[in-house]
Structure 1
């Protein structure tokens, strides 16, 4: 195949699989990018700052403040394996830099990660199973076993992996009183299915705005869940059956009205959830956010004297919702590799039957001609 050359993992991004369900963790991705930004310079730093909405010391301070704000809820991530959810929510955040034994990172960068993000550092061989085991163990530990292993693939050129984990275990302030096995649920194509659902009459903020319904369900402390139901009309579903998201103005209005609304009794029926995504390749999302340079020729000179380029970026998320409350975990991982030889103007991948011709140059006399249908030997 002849095509314009693409950077490793770059503009030829694998798109999402699509489908009616999706779950992401904006917080986990933002923290991972903020850790990367600590080592970025020039246009790469500017792009990261624009995506994150803060720059320099203000960016570091902002993420530090967010971590402190939720720090009182930190706890053992293994709580998600208990039979019952904790009385007080647990929100566990963790960050790590895994450094390949062929990279010498700058002390200033590691200090910034430790001071700004509480990130630990492990050194290993990221080119083989030893490094994979380190990444897997950390992922499993900090998600309480909800996510078994890292999404990063070992590679001889891999030099640095940044990992962020977010885990929540929270009980509803008013648990639902009933779980029903087969409540009707209408799909985007109009067909009806039956799904397990919870039912109750919690006291909660409820608003109706331009056909959008929203209810804010508080957990026992510190956190809440907003359930947003689009209008029942054409145009509120995407082609793959997922619900359409409200525009920015509608989001802002719903949030403001929910915050101002007085709680009232709401008869609420909603499906239970047990979703698991991933690993989801973040390549397309990063390009859409103006961060394609990370895959091309980024300036990450604040990390190391060695030139680095982003080659792997993944997020995995688990979300479980039932009558008792919510359990969720996310891991975001960014893998940087040593840059190799410059890319050509085009790339060619021989990935189907092909011909091979061996020719004498001066006379153009073909010495050998082969048709290759199966290259195994």
Structure 2
């Protein structure tokens, strides 16, 4: 079973001094009357439609206007295809920068959560600010991105995927009714008024976060800036049950290879005959496996054959067309996969600025939210992952650079990347990397040094015989099994 939580909080402040005070009648409920325990478990409000995009010339400048009516129809297959490709491109951009700037051994974040927050902000963005948001989200040709994301979130694995959102406002902040109404209608973000008492506001916000994440994320915010006038929050929950579960009795202590010289012990889940869809990409040399969940979701593991790799190089060669290979059939495979418990929190201001959104933190045009001059003061994100054996039993690319291998084992015993994907369109929900699944353990020096160039280095893995070696660094390229498995088609 896999449990994942993604949380994002976007804070806005007035650019020049205190904001004006205005209280729209009936606009907000007091903080003390917001939905608390029990009620947060109710069915989330549906997400409806949104349009970004129509432009008209005003005084020689290009002004962008929203036309919600233009996006009321269900997305076409072509729109869905473009959205999935855009989300994969955004995931690559975002996670590559996060990995580049992080010193942590393990990372996880939800690009979908970040994209939803930026789309929410786009409801009130105008002119160049809106254009930059669309460009960073790779939505230049898809002006209905928020509508599409909203619509698709409704259809993502009923029962396995949940989205919660909320909007906190400074008491009396003059927010525009159109933004407030669309926020609740499209994203389910109920507006709630802050009390102005920092300790009470922090306690209540953290209480909502705790309940929205079913206790997985506590004390998320430790401070609330005096200038904060608006908080946009969203929380994503994914609970994936394996279509074919791992037997806990087979889980045992085993070796995870950190690099050429050191290892750490890990709890390694195992299966003798696991229905797995996997392939080798030759440039860069990586192994990709799809571990299926129920509800058309997969845990996709990407294992570089060499130890020396970086996230951006790997993801740059993992396009949507490569990951989306529905013709590759499952094959009974001997599997090793480490149990995981990951937690990662970060401030995304530097990353989003590097992506080209520095204007958000300086002088954005957010006049669709309020007539006040607003600036984004903070973007906080946290994700957690728990990966274990539990599950529900069930019956069982580009050009020529991909092939099926005549091997029968897949061992995740070295650093790897992973994605949580929706299978029908390969939409990324979460992305992460694991370089040390047991960071609290003292690394042990290998008796015999392994080298990425020595492909026979792992032949003596204790859990596998020599004739059935792990699908790991001792991998030998072999002809594809053409009779049993159709080959990936080249993207058009």
TM-score of the aligned structures, taking structure 1 as reference length: 0.72
Tell whether 2:245 aligns with 1:159. no
Q: Could you say what secondary structure the match of 1:260 adopts?
A: coil
Q: Where does residue 204 of structure 1 map in the other structure?
A: 276
Q: Could you say what secondary structure the match of 1:122 adopts?
A: strand
Tell me the distance in 2 between the aligned counterparts of 1:206 and 1:35.
36
Between the two proteins, the alignment pairs up a number of residues equal to 294
Tell whether 2:337 aligns with 1:270. yes
- Equivalent residue for 1:63, pick from 135, 140, 149: 149
Tell me the distance in 2 between the aligned counterparts of 1:50 and 1:17.
25
Q: Cα distance 1:245–1:324, how it changes in 2: closer, same or farther (>3 A)?
A: farther
Structure 2 unpaired stretches of 5+: 1-14, 17-97, 393-419, 421-428, 431-492
Tell me the distance in 2 between the aligned counterparts of 1:188 and 1:246.
17
- Maintained 8 Å contact 1:230/1:244: no
The C-alpha deviation readout for 1:65-91, integer Å capped at 9, x for no partner, is 212222x614xxxxxxxxxxxxxxx21
Deviation at 1:53, TM superposition (A): 2.8
Q: Cα distance 1:228–1:130, how it changes in 2: closer, same or farther (>3 A)?
A: same
- Maintained 8 Å contact 2:116/2:146: no
Q: Could you say what secondary structure the match of 1:315 adopts?
A: strand
Tell me the distance in 2 between the aligned counterparts of 1:311 and 1:244.
28
TM-score of the aligned structures, taking structure 2 as reference length: 0.56
Paired residues for 1:221-260 under 5 Å: 221-231=295-305, 233=306, 235-236=308-309, 238=310, 246-252=314-320, 254-257=322-325, 259-260=326-327
- Maintained 8 Å contact 1:217/1:224: yes
- Maintained 8 Å contact 1:96/1:119: yes
Tell me the distance in 1 between the aligned counterparts of 2:169 and 2:117.
15
Deviation at 1:254, TM superposition (A): 3.8
Q: Where does residue 85 of structure 1 map in the other structure?
A: none
Tell me the distance in 1 between the aligned counterparts of 2:146 and 2:320.
26
Deviation at 1:272, TM superposition (A): 0.6
Task: Determine which structure has the larger strand proportion and give its number.
Answer: 1
Tell me the distance in 2 between the aligned counterparts of 1:127 and 1:306.
22
Tell me the distance in 1 between the aligned counterparts of 2:197 and 2:115.
26
- Maintained 8 Å contact 1:16/1:281: no
Tell me the distance in 2 between the aligned counterparts of 1:244 and 1:290.
17
Paired residues for 1:348-359 under 5 Å: none
Structure 1 unpaired stretches of 5+: 1-6, 75-89, 331-377
Tell me the distance in 2 between the aligned counterparts of 1:273 and 1:245.
24
Deviation at 1:189, TM superposition (A): 5.2
Deviation at 1:260, TM superposition (A): 2.1
Deviation at 1:275, TM superposition (A): 0.6
Deviation at 1:325, TM superposition (A): 5.0
Q: Could you say what secondary structure the match of 1:320 adopts?
A: strand
Q: Where does residue 150 of structure 1 map in the other structure?
A: 220
Q: Where does residue 350 of structure 1 map in the other structure?
A: none
Q: Where does residue 37 of structure 1 map in the other structure?
A: 122
Deviation at 1:195, TM superposition (A): 0.6
Tell whether 2:374 aligns with 1:308. yes
Tell me the distance in 2 between the aligned counterparts of 1:19 and 1:130.
33
Q: CA RMSD in A?
A: 2.7
Q: Could you say what secondary structure the match of 2:125 adopts?
A: coil
Tell me the distance in 2 between the aligned counterparts of 1:28 and 1:120.
17
Deviation at 1:191, TM superposition (A): 0.5
- Maintained 8 Å contact 2:244/2:391: no
